[in-house]
Structure 1
Amino acid sequence: MPYTPHKAYVVGVGLTKFDKPRGERDYPELGLEATVKALIDAGITYDDVETAAVGYCYGDSTCGQRALYQLGMTGIPIVNVNNNCSTGSSAFVLAANSIMAGQADCALALGFEKMAPGSLGSAWNDRAPPMEGTMSQLFEIEAEKEYKTDDFGPFAARIFGAAGQEYVEKYGATWDHIAAIAAKNHKHSVKNPYAQFRVSPSPQEVAKARKITREVTLPMCSPTSDGGAAAIVVSEDFIKKHNLQDRAIEIAGLGVSTDSPRLYEDRSRIELAGADMSRRAATIAYKQAGLTAKDIQVLELHDCFAPNELVTYPALGLCAENEAHKIVEAGDNTFGGKWVVNPSGGLESKGHPLGATGLGMVAYMALQLRGEAGALQVENVKAALTHNIGLGGSCVVSILKKASFYKDGAHNKDRFGYDFANECRRMTEEELEKVKSKHFSDYLPASIPEPQTSKL
């Protein structure tokens, strides 16, 4: 008989503030805070967690263990994940798979990052870069088009900028459309106390800002960030045993993909930005969920650079290949339109701590579905989508909806003692004591920083 996977559900989410790298907070604190908040949100303790997947890009071999041992050395499996910018979502996939395979009833997905200021760079100079094929083909395409091929700007920005330029050349859009996307995301972030940037430049200000590449300006770029995010993923049996129906969000679809031959065969700058990964991951997720893009009301899309949001609209089925800029013109990517894209502010303004990014998306969408997103809340959300891509070959698309047995109940304010969505507070020692293991030895940090609050 064919195998029928178990359903998996998100019952708890946690976030730290995504902030400018200043060296003020180390990854064990960021990972601990995100996990403690997710456990509080779920109403359980670390003793209930049977397995954990931990994502980060910049760190040593067992940073996940270092972060989670602070909650108790319970002996559970802890797997560390690095999948470029889709690292957080990749950890989420591992946690969800353990539930769907029936290997566990309660899994933790955690992501964090402590990043260096400035644009991304490799720590290695003695081995082949994973993206050397992408890099060489971009240079070839730009040489054929007689563009300047000197090293103008960080490579990631050049890739996504080139994708945006191809769209402009093919379909009659302008860079004003891309500036409008960036301005929209910054406007959304003003209401997000967890966001790194909370300013709202106009589209004209975005367009006239300092150039980072030939086409991309600074407000179109995601910053390097420090931060953490976590999600508790469980089975239906676990939900009913612990009476968690009032926070049960079903993972209705989960699409995972890597690059196809189109990456190189099409000789397309849009394809070099990973468009086909997004198409195929979205197709898988929609099929599993039995939904289409028309059924989605809100989504967090991987806008590491504003051009990528534009070229990803068609990849996610929101429109035809040549109609992405029409979504911008109609305002169908913001409140009052067909979809609200990146209500959190997206990576451009919310911040982009690589290991935490995908799990942050899950957290924001879970709160939307529970009606607990505060000032970011979209009306009548029935289905939500997350899209997290990592150049070099990784894309995850998830579709979330309320569980069929979902019932209204306690608000996150009841669980935290404050409105979690509208107020960003640091973890307290009392919160740690509440959720740490009660049955195993624990390794606590020397001290917990004094609580700090960020309100709307």
Structure 2
Amino acid sequence: MAMKAYIVGVGMTNFEKPETRDWQYWDMAKEAGTAALADAGVAYAQVQQVPVGYCFQASTAGQRAAYELGLTGVPVYNVNNNCATGSSALMMARQFVEGGISDCVLALGFEKMARGALGGGSDGGDFKTSPVARHYGVMAAGHGFEMSPPTAQIFGNAAREHMERYGTTEAQLAAVGAKNHRHSADNPRAQFQDVYTVEEILAAKTIHRPLTKLQCSPTSDGAAAAVVVSERFVVEHGLHDRAVEIAGQAMTTDTEESFASGSCIDVVGRPMSRAAARKVYETSGLGIEDVDVVELHDCFSINELLTYEALGMCEEGASGKLVESGATTYGGRWVVNPSGGLISKGHPLGATGLAQAAELVWQLRGEAGPRQVDGARVGLAHNIGLGGAAVVTMLRRS
């Protein structure tokens, strides 16, 4: 039987526009890692394993970053799973603990990015050799290939399909951006803290129709970290007041369903997300009806809508009406992306999944300040990367 795993400490830097601050990736990793250890009241000497996530730095950058926290000889693992990298590092930490291999693990994620739009994959290379060439091939077959940023194209085309198939409107897509920008106004760590109306979001520069700039996540610098420990470690160190249980977690990768339909909706990951959520509901004994607060992967506004459907928050095709109804903000059924999400908080690829976990831990411990979700006891994180991987994590505060 698997042992229980708990997050007892989290930390993150401010997420910032690239080149805003004169710092290196190891500086931001040190800041986030130190904050997580301090939050847990744990010394780095007690850490037994360190999975480190990043996409754009060189091999063994994880060691270079972790060495800023201490030179203890602890095993360091370099993790790269595109935009799902941070949650993949967290999953490794949980597996070490649940498997009885380690009692205390630090999951760390960071990214130092270049300005401008992302290319077709984290390598930024030729599409013919890109790990996501198959995904973009599906898009090109159905929609052609234009000169706009490729990630915006594939998600923008998913949005067009959703509009054609279900009657989703541009205003409903913009409502996602308006909600998340509004939420980020209360998050001092967010890259953007400006509030916009739906009309202002629709009037912003078009990146790939129907997506405007204010519906797209930016490139960002930043880091986040989480200390994951066993139940025994919690008891021995008196950490009950800090502990948030990882009640369930699953990763899925692409199956035939992702490619068979020729639809961008499927190729960007809705089937993966649906399968991961189903596994988490089964293993945790909790369903979406038990969840109070959600941090999900809104790399583009359409992906938030697709994820509502994948998580079972609404019927397929009804996500536009769900966000329009106010069900996913304060006063609604769930609060989705109280941090501001990727669209407004920022998206440093290797840190994103761990930043989601940090936000949920603060929410479940009642430490989220002006963006606190009243009475939050159960949180769900969803992190996805093209190529592909979807990680869904259920967190519970007992």
* TM-score, normalised relative to structure 2: 0.97
Q: Deviations over 1:224-281 (max 9, x none)?
A: 0000000000001001111000011000010110011011112212101111110011
Q: Give 1:283 deviation, angstroms.
A: 0.6
Which residue of the partner structure matches residue 139 of structure 2?
Answer: 138
- Counterpart of 2:60 in structure 1: which amino acid? T
Alpha-carbon distance in structure 1 between the residues aligned to 2:68 and 2:130: 35
Kindly indicate whether the alpha-carbon contact (under 8 Å) linking 2:33 and 2:69 is maintained by their aligned counterparts in 1.
no
2:165 aligned to which of 164, 170, 174: 170
Q: How many Å separate the matches in 2 of 1:59 and 1:110?
A: 14
- Aligned-pair distance for 1:186? 0.2
- Whole-angstrom CA distance in 2 between matches of 1:277 and 1:248: 29
Amino acid of the residue matched to residue 154 of structure 2?
A: I
Deviation digits for residues 383-415 of structure 1 (CA, Å, limit 9, x no counterpart): 100000000111100000014xxxxxxxxxxxx
Q: In structure 2, what is the Cα distance between the partners aligned to 1:71 and 1:394?
A: 29
The CA deviation at 1:214 is 2.4
2:317 to 314, 319, 322: 322
Distance in 1, matches of 2:310 and 2:70, equals: 43
Give 5+ residue unaligned stretches, structure 1: 143-148, 404-456
Matched-pair contact (CA < 8 Å) for 1:387–1:398: yes
6, 9, 33: which is aligned to 2:3? 6
The within-5 A match list for 1:3-402 is: 4-22=1-19, 24-121=22-119, 122-125=123-126, 128-142=129-143, 149-402=144-397
Secondary structure, counterpart of 1:396 in structure 2? strand
CA RMSD of aligned residues (A): 1.1
SS at match of 1:387: strand
Q: Which has the higher mean CA deviation after the structures are superposed, 155-164 or 339-348?
A: 155-164
Give the whole-Å Cα distance in 2 for the aligned partners of 1:193 and 1:214: 31
The question of whether the paired residues in 1 share the 8 Å contact of 2:139 and 2:145 is answered with no
Distance 1:150 1:51 in 2: 43
CA contact (8 A) 1:164 1:310 kept: no
Residues 138 and 263 in structure 2, CA contact (< 8 A), matched pair in contact too? no
Q: 1:58-98: CA deviations, max 9, x gaps?
A: 01111111111122211111000000000000000001100
Stretches of structure 2 that go unaligned for 5 or more consecutive residues are: none
The alpha carbon displacement at 1:126 in A equals 9.4
Q: Is contact 1:57–1:83 with CA below 8 Å preserved after alignment?
A: yes
Q: Assess if the C-alpha contact under 8 Å between 2:84 and 2:383 holds in 1.
A: yes
Report Cα offsets for 1:341-362 as digits up to 9, x if no partner: 0000000000000000000000
How many matched pairs?
394
Contact 1:383 1:399 in 2 (8 A): yes
Partner AA of 2:211 in structure 1:
V
> Which deviates more from structure 2 when the two are superposed, residues 99-108 or residues 314-323?
314-323
Q: What SS does structure 1 have at the residue aligned with 2:155?
A: helix
Distance 2:275 2:49 in 1: 29
Bigger Cα displacement from structure 2, 105-114 vs 153-162: 153-162
| Cα offset, 1:150, TM superposition | 4.7
Query: Contact 1:164/1:311 (CA < 8 Å) preserved in 2?
Result: no
Measured in 2, the distance between the counterparts of 1:8 and 1:309 equals 28
2:118, 2:124 within 8 Å by CA — same for their partners in 1?
Answer: no
Q: 8 Å contact 2:54–2:349 — kept in the other structure?
A: yes
Larger Rg belongs to: 1
Letter paired with 1:263: S
User: In 1, Cα distance between the equivalents of 2:49 and 2:41?
Assistant: 17
Q: Distance in 2 between matches of 1:57 and 1:8?
A: 26
Write out the 4+ residue segments of structure 1 that deviate beyond 2 Å after TM superposition: 121-127
1:125 is displaced (CA, Å) by 3.9
For the residue of structure 2 that corresponds to 1:88, the secondary structure is: helix
Tell me, what secondary structure is at the counterpart of 2:208? coil
Q: CA deviation at 1:127?
A: 6.5
2:14·2:222 contact (CA, 8 Å) conserved in 1? yes
Letter in 1 for 2:16: D
Q: What is the identity, as a one-letter code, of the residue corresponding to 1:20? A: K
